[in-house]
């Protein structure tokens, strides 16, 4: 079996055990039979992250919390939150999610800066929507209020690809700013030199996905005010943990609505908000900006239609579970979890820094990334993978990233990390010019076939998407 076939087969580990459905079954399976398969698959897959060796992905890792959220979700799983006359509970949940998020991001500072404005927001179904919705707002506001015909955004090269995806869908030009290779923060001077009459918004991350580092948001805020352009702060990864780090005394710079130039913020409740996957918030400095994400069709034959974002029908279960996660934690609960995460991240950073062959990328927070000038870092990843670790792989330069979450704070995980890394470094040094087995693929861990060019990467990823949607054998 060649490497490509092995990779594809690995995406379908249950084909021999359960068979493969290639058409609608003639008769339905019993509930018990289905639940038996579901439980078996879930228990096996949970083992991958329950060890505490998986970067990011499972942010809470508390099965009691998940069972609680499952019960909340079940009460509203079949509800369409679009139909508020039938489920007014959604109005309560959604508005309170927004209010709690604004409290965390100091939304009250907006009115202190300008009494005519009031911070607001919207619940979305993931970070990508929380990024695309503000881009839509900036584009349409630019068209209507400034007559912009060729809208562009300026983003750091560490910004999440959702910005490129949104720009692709919305017809925006993307100007990509470099970051300082030492600090991994965006070059503010470079951004300043490229703002022009067609610029609708600039972007900073708090923190960025590759390294967890925070861009100079205060300096970007000054630029935004001086040039009268929007500033979107992408807090999808860090939005629900960095504020707690600030409270705990860690060096977290201000990145939220306390800065007058910040006009929108994205933050994922399904990450360090510990909600179920598929929820996020997009926060705005004022409703005069948020209104541009609304879609209204007043004359449709089916009745006047309105939606507040990209999605139409939305499961009430996810909204209810997000609300339940937030109110069940409260400030005390979030601080308790954040303290353990920041402490663990600091210890992991110390362990990495103790190896002179490894170089930290920027100034780590709850997320750390490291590379090496002495060997191919993916040899180290190959070794750590054999010990059960699942890092996220990065490129340009090659690096490995660990977003510390709840599972890493469990007893014994840090000791394993220190011991395994101590064994991995000499292994990686011994490999010389040999080709490592792993590479950088976002969302798939640091694994894949040996690939070298962007065209090969594109072909592989497009093939993977095809395979994920249709069993090929």
Q: Give the per-residue pLDDT at 446.
A: 47
Q: Where in the chain is the domain with CATH 3.40.640.10?
A: 89-325
Helices 413-430 and 316-353 cross at an angle (nearest 10°) of 60
Instruction: Please tell me the predicted confidence (pLDDT) of residue 242.
Output: 98
Contact yes or no for 249/276 (Cβ under 8 A): no
Could you report the per-residue pLDDT of 396-413, keeping only the tens digit for each? 899 999 999 999 999 999
Q: φ and ψ at 177, to 5 degrees?
A: -90, 145
Quickly state the pLDDT bin for 445 (edges 50, 70, 90).
Answer: very low
Please provide the CATH number assigned to the domain covering 331-466.
Answer: 3.90.1150.10
Span 166-215, pLDDT tens digits = 999 999 999 999 999 999 999 999 999 999 999 999 999 999 999 999 99
Every domain of the chain with CATH number 3.90.1150.10 lies at 331-466
CA distances from 48 to 16, 66, 367, 381, 411 (A): 21, 17, 20, 16, 17
Secondary structure class of 243 (helix, strand, coil) = helix
Question: What is the average pLDDT across 345-360?
Answer: 97
Which pLDDT score is estimated for 311?
A: 84
Band (1; pLDDT cuts 50, 70, 90)? low
Give the pLDDT band (50/70/90) at residue 259.
very high
The CATH number that domain 89-325 falls under is: 3.40.640.10
The pairing of strands 199-205 and 152-156 is parallel
Contact call for residues 359 and 184 (beta carbons, < 8 A): no
pLDDT of residue 447: 44
Nearest to 259 by CA among 107, 136, 365, 156: 107
CB 133 within 8 A of CB 282: yes
177/155 Cα distance (integer angstroms): 6
Q: Of 282, 7, 20, which is closest to residue 133 (Cα–Cα)?
A: 282
CA-CA distance, 112 to 166, in Å (whole number)?
32
Q: What CA–CA distance (Å, rounded) separates 170 from 151? A: 10
DSSP string, 159-221: S-THHHHHHHHHT-EEEEEPB-TTT--B-HHHHHHH--TTEEEEEEEBS-TTT--B--HHHHH
Tens of pLDDT, residues 423-432: 999 999 999 9
Mean pLDDT within 307-334: 93
| Core vs surface per residue 258-292: b (16+ CB within 10 A) or e | bbbbbbbbbbbbbbbbbbbebbbbbbbbbeebbeb
156 forms beta bridges with 177
Instruction: Provide the pLDDT confidence category of residue 452 given band limits of 50, 70 and 90.
Output: low
- pLDDT tens digits along 148-169: 999 999 999 999 999 999 999 9
State how far the Cα of 263 lies from the Cα of 221, in Å rounded to an integer: 9
Q: What is the mean pLDDT of the chain?
A: 93
Locus of tokens 């040999």: 434
* Apex 28 CA angle, 26 and 31, nearest 5: 165
pLDDT at 130: 97
For residue 448, pLDDT beyond 60: no
Find the helix packing angle between 127-146 and 162-170, rounded to 10°: 40
The whole-model pTM stands at: 0.93
The DSSP secondary structure of 313-357, one letter per residue, reads S-BHHHHHHHHHHHHHHHHHHHHHHHHHHHHHHHHHHHHHHTSTT
Enclosing H/E stretch for 358:
strand 358-360
Query: How far, in whole angstroms, is CA 199 from its chain's centroid?
Result: 25
Assess whether the previous peptide bond of 397 is cis (omega < 30° from 0).
yes
Name the token pair of 68.
Answer: 């609680």
């Amino acid at each position: 079996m060649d490497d490509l076939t092995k990779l594809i087969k690995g995406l379908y580990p249950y084909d021999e055990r359960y068979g493969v459905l290639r058409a609608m079954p003639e008769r339905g399976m019993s509930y018990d039979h289905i639940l038996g398969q579901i439980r078996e698959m879930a228990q096996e897959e949970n083992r991958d992250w329950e060890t505490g060796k998986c970067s990011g992905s499972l942010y809470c890792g508390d099965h009691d919390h998940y069972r609680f959220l499952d019960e909340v979700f079940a009460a509203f799983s079949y509800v369409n939150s679009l139909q508020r006359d039938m489920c007014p509970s959604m109005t309560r949940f959604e508005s309170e999610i927004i209010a709690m998020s604004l409290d965390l991001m100091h939304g009250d500072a907006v009115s202190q800066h300008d009494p005519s404005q009031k911070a607001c927001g919207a619940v979305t179904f993931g970070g990508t929507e929380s990024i695309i919705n503000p881009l839509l707002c900036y584009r349409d506001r630019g068209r209507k209020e400034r007559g912009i015909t060729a809208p562009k955004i300026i983003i750091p090269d560490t910004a999440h690809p959702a910005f490129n995806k949104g720009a692709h869908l919305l017809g925006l030009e993307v100007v990509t700013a470099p970051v300082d290779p030492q600090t991994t923060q965006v070059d503010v001077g470079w951004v300043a030199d490229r703002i022009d009459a067609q610029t609708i918004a600039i972007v900073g991350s708090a923190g960025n996905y590759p390294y967890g580092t925070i861009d100079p948001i205060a300096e970007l805020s000054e630029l935004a005010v001086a040039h009268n352009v929007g500033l979107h702060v992408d807090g999808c990864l860090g939005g629900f943990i960095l504020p707690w780090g600030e409270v705990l005394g860690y060096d977290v710079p201000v990145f939220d609505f306390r800065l007058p130039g910040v006009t929108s913020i994205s933050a994922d409740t399904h990450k360090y908000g510990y909600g179920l996957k598929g929820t996020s918030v997009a926060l705005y400095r004022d409703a005069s900006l948020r209104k541009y994400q609304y879609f209204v069709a007043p004359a449709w034959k089916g009745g006047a239609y309105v939606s507040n974002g990209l999605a139409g029908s939305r499961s009430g279960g996810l909204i209810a579970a997000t609300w339940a996660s937030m109110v069940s934690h409260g400030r005390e609960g979030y601080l308790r979890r954040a303290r353990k995460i920041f402490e663990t991240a600091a210890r992991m950073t110390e362990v990495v820094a103790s190896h002179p062959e490894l170089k930290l990328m920027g100034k780590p927070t709850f997320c750390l990334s490291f590379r090496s000038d002495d060997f191919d870092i993916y040899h180290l990843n190959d070794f750590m993978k054999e010990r059960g670790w699942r890092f996220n792989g990065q490129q340009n330069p090659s690096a490995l990233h660990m977003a510390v979450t709840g599972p890493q704070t469990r007893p014994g995980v840090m000791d394993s990390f220190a011991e395994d890394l101590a064994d991995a470094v000499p292994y990686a040094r011994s490999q010389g010019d040999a080709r490592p087995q792993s590479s950088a693929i976002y969302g798939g861990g640091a694994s894949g076939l040996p690939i070298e060019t962007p065209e090969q990467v594109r072909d592989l990823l497009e093939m993977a998407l095809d395979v994920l949607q249709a069993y090929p054998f």
